[in-house]
Amino acid sequence: MKKLWQKNWNLDKTIEAFETQVDLVLDQKLVKFDILGSMAHAQGLYKIGLLTDEEIKLLKTGFQEIINLNDLKQFVLQFGDEDIHSKIENHLTQTLGEVGKKIHTGRSRNDQVLTAIRLFTKDSLLQIWPATLELIEAFLDFSLKHAGVLMPGYTHMQKAMPSTMGLWAGAFAEGLLDDLALFQTAYTLNDQSPLGSAAGYGVPLFLDRQFVANLLGFGKVQNNSLYCQNSRGKIESVVVAALIAILQEINKFATDLLLFTTSEFRFVEISSELCSGSSIMPQKKNVDVAELLRSKVHLLLGNYSQLVGLSSNLVSGYNRDLQDSKKPLFESLELTCSCLQVAKLLVDSIKINHEQINMAISPELFATHHALNLVKQGVSFREAYQKTAVSYQEKSFSDFSIKDSVHLGGIGNLGLPQLKKQLKNEQKKYQIESDKYQAVISSLLSQKETHEKKD
Ligand code: ARG
């Protein structure tokens, strides 16, 4: 395949393989998004009189054909195509003739690839967002259902104070709600249109960047052309940092689950369909899904480190090193999406072993309560502490009630209504954003779309 930059030399095959082989696989995921970017760019060119009515119509049929071929898995990148941007332009030129050669007017592959990546990332984030909300809801439902189930609370992995299954699950819901703040910041930063910044220095044409950004549903135009390129890899790293926060919550949940399902603890059980066995030990039922959930935050940390590293020590502007940022970004988005789905399956399948968990409720968990009872009778805390340290084993804890811990966030007052309200607000925010995105994308894809009149 002829390269877009082809002049009077041919690229050495070993070099071509080195430069493009991994990229060809990754770029396959960008087909739809590169087409969307190209559709909007073409409309922008039409708006400023650089494409005629006839040409924009032709291009639209060309874009639609590629979308159809891609849906049928017949638009497959092959060695020699270099990248998705080249393949699409070459295809348009082959099928439509001269007009195909006009689509690259006023853009560079540098802003083109950035646009496709931002759209791809946005699309993925719009899948991760509701999956996070569903996981939060699952934790909140679990917390409400088991708000009264006592369990030991641990510090230093030693029994500390009475806790509840409700407190335990509610902690993950609240953690994930916090993570949404970081997530939305990353979403907003990614939601900027780099299209029109060209190679990183703009072009001497009257491009209407805002018009094109609106067509693509971007929140704003990324203003400075050079910054568009400088932000490649950096915005990706912010996105992955936000995903890491989510996976940190999932990591802790998975680690607890692994402990609570051991035969020594047996506080809870996980449905058999979610567990696997051993090839040699017939008795085994492993919750290895939780181990694989736990591991993913580490993979993302590696990806984060790749993204920060790849985008550092580069001089301003486009550097080909940035091509390697696609793999860690794409992998992080995909892993987070599947972790959220799997974590929800796990939460929904947890069965509490009440008998076992009751046996774990032992006197030392109430030592602090006895000390505080003395405090209520006027004894100083330090004196009460010393007295209780020698007597707590003999004391009864049958008169203890969860309701005694009524301050907000205590086991008698989990603050679930507030968290539910917060979740509802978050669900609304997501719905608004998702509806906006769906409307913009279907309007762009629609053949009925009327072109804006030329000024
Ligand atoms: N595959 C490249 C990337 O992802 C395409 C961008 C531009 N290439 C170029 N030689 N300027 O970065």
Q: What is the dihedral of CA 323, 324, 327, 329, to 10 degrees?
A: -80
Nearest alpha carbon, ligand 1 atom 2: 323
Whether residue 3 is predicted with pLDDT greater than 90 in this model: the reply is no
User: Residue 236 C-alpha to ligand 1 middle, in angstroms?
Assistant: 16
Pocket-testing residue among 7, 110, 121, 330, ligand 1, by greatest number of atoms within 8 A of Cβ: 110
Beta strands at 192-193 and 220-221: parallel, antiparallel or unpaired = parallel
Pocket-testing residue among 320, 326, 327, ligand 1, by greatest number of atoms within 8 A of Cβ: 320
User: Residue 295 C-alpha to ligand 1 middle, in angstroms?
Assistant: 32
What domains sit in the chain, N to C, each tagged with a CATH number? 13-105 (1.10.275.10), 110-207+223-360+413-440 (1.20.200.10), 363-396 (no CATH)
User: Residue 156 C-alpha to ligand 1 middle, in angstroms?
Assistant: 50
Whether residue 451 is predicted with pLDDT greater than 80 in this model: the reply is no
User: Residue 162 C-alpha to ligand 1 middle, in angstroms?
Assistant: 57
Which residues, at least 6 apart from 276, have a Cβ–Cβ distance to it below 8 Å?
Answer: 285, 286, 288, 289
For residues 450 and 455, what is the distance between their CA atoms, to the nearest angstrom? 15
What pLDDT score was predicted for residue 71? 96
Nearest alpha carbon, ligand 1 atom 3: 323
Which residues have any ligand 1 atom within 6 Å of their CB? 23, 83, 109-110, 113, 318, 320, 322-323
Cα radius of gyration (the chain): 28
Which residues, at least 6 apart from 75, have a Cβ–Cβ distance to it below 8 Å?
Answer: 31, 66, 69, 87, 91
Pocket-testing residue among 113, 197, 307, 325, ligand 1, by greatest number of atoms within 8 A of Cβ: 113
What pLDDT score was predicted for residue 330? 98
Model confidence pLDDT, tens digit, residues 76-105: 999 988 899 999 999 999 999 999 999 999
Which atom number of ligand 1 is nearest to the Cα of residue 117? 4
Whether residue 450 is predicted with pLDDT greater than 60 in this model: the reply is no
Pocket-testing residue among 323, 324, 325, 326, ligand 1, by greatest number of atoms within 8 A of Cβ: 323
Which residues, at least 6 apart from 126, have a Cβ–Cβ distance to it below 8 Å?
Answer: 433, 434, 437
pTM: 0.95
Catalytic sites, residue numbers: 156, 278
Which atom number of ligand 1 is nearest to the Cα of residue 20? 1
User: Residue 84 C-alpha to ligand 1 middle, in angstroms?
Assistant: 10
Model confidence pLDDT, tens digit, residues 52-75: 999 999 999 999 999 999 999 999
Nearest alpha carbon, ligand 1 atom 10: 320
What is the SS3 assignment for the chain?
CCCCCCCCCCCCHHHHHHHHHHHHHHHHHHHHHHHHHHHHHHHHHHHCCCCCHHHHHHHHHHHHHHHHHHHCCCCCCCCCCCCHHHHHHHHHHHHHHHHHHHCCCCCCHHHHHHHHHHHHHHHHHHHHHHHHHHHHHHHHHHHHHCCCCEEEEEECCEEEEEEEHHHHHHHHHHHHHHHHHHHHHHHHHHCEECCCCCCCCCCCCCCCHHHHHHHHCCCEECCCHHHHHHCCCHHHHHHHHHHHHHHHHHHHHHHHHHHHCCCCCCCEECCHHHCECCCCCCCCCECHHHHHHHHHHHHHHHHHHHHHHHCCCCCCCCCHHHHHHHHHHHHHHHHHHHHHHHHHHHHHHCEECHHHHHHCCCHHHHHHHHHHHHHHCCCCHHHHHHHHHHHHHHCCCCCCCHHHCCCCCCCCCCCHHHHHHHHHHHHHHHHHHHHHHHHHHHHHHCCCCCCCCCC
For residues 32 and 128, what is the distance between their CA atoms, to the nearest angstrom? 19
Q: Hey, which residues does 276 pair with through a beta bridge?
A: 286
Which atom number of ligand 1 is nearest to the Cα of residue 326? 4
By CB atoms closer than 10 A (0-12, 13-18, 19+), residue 283 is exposed
Least confident of 246-260, 334-348, 381-395: 381-395
Q: Is the Cβ–Cβ distance between 75 and 69 less than 8 Å?
A: yes
For residues 62 and 68, what is the distance between their CA atoms, to the nearest angstrom? 10
Which residue type, as a one-letter code, is found at position 133?
L
User: Residue 110 C-alpha to ligand 1 middle, in angstroms?
Assistant: 6
Which atom number of ligand 1 is nearest to the Cα of residue 320? 12
* pLDDT mean across residues, the chain: 94
What pLDDT score was predicted for residue 281? 83
User: Residue written as tokens 């998975």?
Assistant: 254
For residues 209 and 221, what is the distance between their CA atoms, to the nearest angstrom? 7
Which atom number of ligand 1 is nearest to the Cα of residue 85? 5
User: Residue 87 C-alpha to ligand 1 middle, in angstroms?
Assistant: 13
For residues 329 and 103, what is the distance between their CA atoms, to the nearest angstrom? 28
Which atom number of ligand 1 is nearest to the Cα of residue 112? 6
Model confidence pLDDT, tens digit, residues 352-389: 999 999 999 999 999 999 999 999 999 999 999 999 99
Model confidence pLDDT, tens digit, residues 274-331: 988 888 888 888 999 999 999 999 999 999 999 999 999 999 999 999 999 999 999 9
Please state, as a whole number, how many other Cβ atoms lie within 10 Å of the Cβ of residue 383. Answer: 12
For residues 150 and 352, what is the distance between their CA atoms, to the nearest angstrom? 11
